[in-house]
Structure 1
């Protein structure tokens, strides 16, 4: 994942006929690959990554990046009373090495780099983040964490957020193992995941509503796609299974809409509504057009479904929320010093 340093023989040039192509061919091939990654795969009017051979069900386009940004702002709003609203892991190192897996639009990684200028923060995803500027201590990379990790330095903190549906169960085991192996002794993993199950505490959500059936519908589709969408319920056990100790968790109720009376929750709910409105089509399109019941849905059916969900979310009578679970845990400390 780090670009390896390569020493070139000064007697060889890119125009050397031994290679069968000249510098113009080399530049053309490089530009073609770069263009392909940025262009992505268009399907049902949305753009998807092309780096991984296997299909990835979340789009990588402006609308989804808008959802990522709103989701980030909700997380900040829910911790607006804390000096560090970005993570809860008790990292004490002055020169931290931090990895953000599934960085999306890169905002979390950029914010952490701004807050900790002596840290080196890497954000990695399958599609180039849209950030026009990043701090000098922040590196945004395009790569696949299911492939071999080649970063030389081990990390003090590895962060993940909103990764439901990203991997199969087996792939999740591999990701957690890679995280464990690439953390320093005593380093931390932190993950934040949301549930698609929409609930209310006051009975304002009808059992026959589209919103009330959303969670079971998406969890069913994710299970049949082998892209589990219920990992908010399983991350604690998965992290323990990978060997992490000192496991902590915090469960939140994220309101959807500005209905709460509490000022902090009202602000978070207003932004979370935008998070859902911008994100729903991208969250559900791939799953429903492949694994919808009783048969795969058409994109038009998904549009109608999302419109109904949006209508119900907009209702001032629906005081709805969804669970979010944050888990942070530690790699066991050893007496050996890791480089």
Structure 2
């Protein structure tokens, strides 16, 4: 089981991967130059919050998470709170922008979360959702269903559904935001290799980082879910994860996810 420091390093690596995938951009919403209030749900280590606050020194930026793992040294316009976003929101003022990234598997009721986001935005405000499919796809059917990685992702999806917080939710986001009342909805879907199998330098570099991140993320994703929901013991889990890590090193498997 990873310790707090390892988990912080993993979260910061994922932040780096999002930046690589989106050409260094922290966000894609067409925000005005001047922003009053911004909220980051599930802020993790707070690295996105602090980068955003540096870009928008005029804004008050709030980051919330279930764990207080953020730095104690923050810009003056940043405030971190320990909070459960699935509880009733208690903000006294609305936000110009709400950012929600990498929360698949952490939210039970996405529709309610996005309804609360809608209700806590100023008129004309923006919500931005960034998520990756917890599923390795291929365009050439090169990942066998008998492979350890295919079995891992299938079982992970099943276990997260049983737990009530599914990991593969990105495909439903458009329906969620439409139901909440949002308009002017845009999408930017990008394929991201899970290992350095592509031929272009940029994609190979991204694949190298993704391979590292996924290898480190398999156990945090699987351990509790497989134990509690599937009644697996640790020996069974570690054997499957070892096989999945080997599959991430197999360049014959042209696997990618979609962000």
Partner residue in 2 for 1:304: 239
Partner Cα separation in structure 1 for residue 165 and residue 137 of structure 2: 23
Deviation at 1:67, TM superposition (A): 2.0
Aligned pair 1:217/2:160, yes or no?
A: no
CA distance in 2, matches of 1:298, 1:133: 41
Q: Deviations over 1:80-111 (max 9, x none)?
A: 2x6xx111111115133110000111111111
Q: Does the 8 A contact of 1:200 with 1:320 survive in 2?
A: yes
Contact 2:53 2:59 in 1 (8 A): yes
User: What is the CA deviation profile of residues 246-281 of structure 1, one whole-angstrom value per residue up to 9, with x for unaligned ones?
Assistant: 111121111112222222222221111222122111
1:173 aligns with 2:116: no
Aligned counterparts, 1:133-148, within 5 A: 133-148=73-88
Instruction: Give the secondary structure class of the aligned counterpart of 2:190.
Output: strand
Partner secondary structure for residue 251 of structure 1: coil
SS at match of 2:63: strand
Partner of 1:252: 190
Once the two structures are superposed, the pairs formed by residues 1-339 of structure 1 within 5 Å of their partners are: 45=1, 61-80=4-23, 85-168=25-108, 171-292=109-230, 296-324=231-259
Alpha-carbon RMSD: 1.8
Structure-2 separation of matches of 1:236 and 1:180: 14
The 1:182/1:93 distance shift into structure 2, 3 A limit, reads farther
Structure 2 gaps of 5+ residues are none
Larger radius of gyration, structure 1 or 2? 1
Q: How many aligned positions are there?
A: 259
C-alpha deviation, 1:193, in angstroms: 1.2
Give, in angstroms, the shift of residue 202 of structure 1: 3.4
Structure 1 runs of 4+ aligned residues shifted over 3 Å read none
Paired residues of 2:41 and 2:100 also in contact (CA < 8 A): yes
Contact 1:67–1:276, Cα closer than 8 Å, also in 2: no
For structure 1, list consecutive stretches of 5 or more residues without a partner in the other structure.
Answer: 1-44, 48-60, 325-339
Q: Is the 8 A contact 2:26 2:48 kept in 1?
A: yes
Q: TM-score, normalised by structure 1?
A: 0.72
Within 1, Cα distance between the matches of 2:193 and 2:62? Answer: 31
- Structure 2 CA distance, aligned partners of 1:129 and 1:74? 20
Which structure's residues are more often strand, by fraction? 1
- Give the 3-state SS of the residue equivalent to 1:250 in structure 2: coil
Deviation of the 1:131 alpha carbon: 2.3
Confirm or deny: 8 A CA contact 1:86 1:108 kept in the other structure.
yes
